[in-house]
């Protein structure tokens, strides 16, 4: 017999939405010699089937939109669809148009969406536009703004009044507007309240110890990540740098602090020390001396250290410990600076035009025009002009 319908509205909704895939299922819900206790279960199953179908359709629409309108790969779209579910294209289209209006290319927009899919569901007028207008008013160019948003799109989802503007005013009280832009491009997560709360006590410590404002500004503008460490760890790193003999009034203190502050930084420092000692025979004093002269030499990749030292020691024949005297040369580009200049020197040595006891610093440290004047300009020997090879030297 036909089962009485306890909810005619549910039946109508089911038949209006459910696809033919579920038609046979719906019929089984409605026909049969069933007890009333079974009917509520059947209605629940019907509702769940309808809801699942709607959810699947919305998911498929979101994935298709991410692929076709945002340029995501199918794999990327499926992954991003776990974070956002679009009901229609209208709101998302407005978001894309707004980002494009503020200078973001299609590639940059795709990167923003891939990083923060929830931006597509944000209200373009109430949530996004005020922040874009604010950043446009303080950032030098549209290109800079586009790069900043690609690097940290979560800025668009932060509170303008409670986070972004207070953070900007805080930075502006310490550094120039140009340097604020630099912070935005490099370390814009300082605009997160939980990160910024460590910056104030860390800066106060540096001031108490006598660091000049110029060095604090350098640290804040170009090594912001150092200042967001917890105060205890930051204070310990400051003491360690001081114990190594660095002067707080010089920029090298800032660079050394960057190399030692944080667990990952310290592990890189220790790894570099072992490479210099184990592979190239440096003593602990050599390591500290090199670090004091150029802190950057202790945070280079293992590959760069090994390639540079191998070239200087095994190709050029310079003693390993001499490199510790001029550690900055390890930071130079092997292909663009070191090899071209050393090639010039080798030619001059073969021609007998320079003495073999030339200074390492005279070859690699001078700016390009000085090197060219010293080693590549035509000179006269016994009245005869000697044409040195023509090199473009960086």
CA atoms within a 13 Å half-sphere pointing along the CA-CB vector of 370: 7
> How many angstroms separate the CA atoms of 269 and 264, rounded?
9
Q: What tens digit of pLDDT does each residue of 23-64 get?
A: 444 444 444 444 555 555 554 444 444 444 445 556 788 999
The DSSP code for 31 is B
The DSSP code for 3 is P
Q: Binning pLDDT at 50, 70 and 90, where does residue 170 land?
A: confident
Q: What number is the average pLDDT over the span 155-179?
A: 87
> How many angstroms separate the CA atoms of 237 and 249, rounded?
16
Q: Residue 4: is its pLDDT beyond 80?
A: no
What's the mean pLDDT when you consider all of the chain? 81
Distances from the Cα of 305 to the Cα of 170, 289, 335, angstroms: 39, 16, 14
DSSP string, 174-210: TS-HHHHHHHHHHHGGGGSHHHHTTHHHHHHHHHHTT
The DSSP code for 5 is P
Q: What tens digit of pLDDT does each residue of 351-381 get?
A: 888 887 778 888 999 999 888 888 887 554 4
Q: Name the token pair of 386.
A: 């000697």
First to last CA, the chain: 93
Domain ranges of the chain: 8-56, 346-394
pTM: predicted TM-score of the whole model, two decimal places? 0.67
């Amino acid at each position: 017999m036909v089962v009485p319908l306890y909810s005619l509205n549910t039946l109508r909704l089911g038949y209006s939405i459910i696809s033919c895939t579920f038609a046979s299922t719906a019929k089984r819900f409605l026909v049969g010699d069933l007890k009333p206790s079974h009917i509520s279960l059947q209605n629940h199953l019907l509702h769940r089937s309808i809801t699942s179908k709607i959810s699947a359709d919305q998911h498929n629409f979101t994935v298709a939109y991410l692929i076709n309108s945002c340029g995501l790969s199918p794999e990327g779209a499926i992954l991003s669809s776990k974070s956002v579910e679009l009901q229609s294209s209208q709101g998302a289209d407005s978001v894309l148009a707004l980002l494009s209006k503020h200078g973001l290319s299609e590639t940059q927009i795709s990167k923003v969406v891939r990083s923060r899919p929830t931006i597509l569901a944000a209200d373009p007028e109430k949530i996004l536009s005020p922040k874009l207008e604010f950043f446009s008013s303080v950032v030098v160019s549209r290109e800079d703004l586009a790069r900043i948003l690609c690097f940290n799109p979560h800025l668009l989802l932060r509170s303008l009044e409670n986070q972004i503007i207070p953070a900007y005013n805080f930075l502006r009280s310490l550094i120039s507007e140009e340097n604020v832009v630099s912070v935005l491009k490099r370390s814009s997560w300082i605009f997160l309240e939980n990160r910024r709360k460590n910056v104030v006590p860390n800066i106060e410590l540096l001031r108490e110890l006598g660091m000049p404002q110029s060095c604090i500004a350098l640290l804040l503008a170009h090594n912001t990540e150092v200042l967001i460490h917890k105060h205890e760890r930051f204070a310990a790193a400051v003491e360690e740098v001081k114990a190594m003999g660095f002067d707080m009034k010089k920029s090298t203190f800032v660079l050394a602090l960057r190399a030692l502050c944080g667990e990952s930084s310290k592990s890189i420092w220790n790894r570099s020390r072992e490479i210099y000692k184990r592979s190239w025979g440096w003593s602990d004093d050599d390591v500290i001396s090199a670090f004091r002269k150029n802190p950057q030499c202790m945070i280079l990749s293992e590959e760069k250290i090994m390639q540079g030292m191998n070239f200087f020691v095994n190709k050029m024949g310079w003693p390993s410990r001499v490199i510790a005297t001029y550690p900055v040369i390890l930071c130079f580009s092997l292909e663009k600076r070191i090899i071209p200049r050393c090639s010039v020197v080798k030619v001059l040595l073969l021609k007998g035009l320079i003495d073999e006891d030339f200074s390492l610093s005279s070859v690699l440290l001078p700016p390009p025009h000085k090197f060219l004047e010293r080693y590549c300009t035509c000179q006269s020997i016994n009245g005869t002009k000697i044409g040195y090879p023509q090199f473009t030297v960086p």
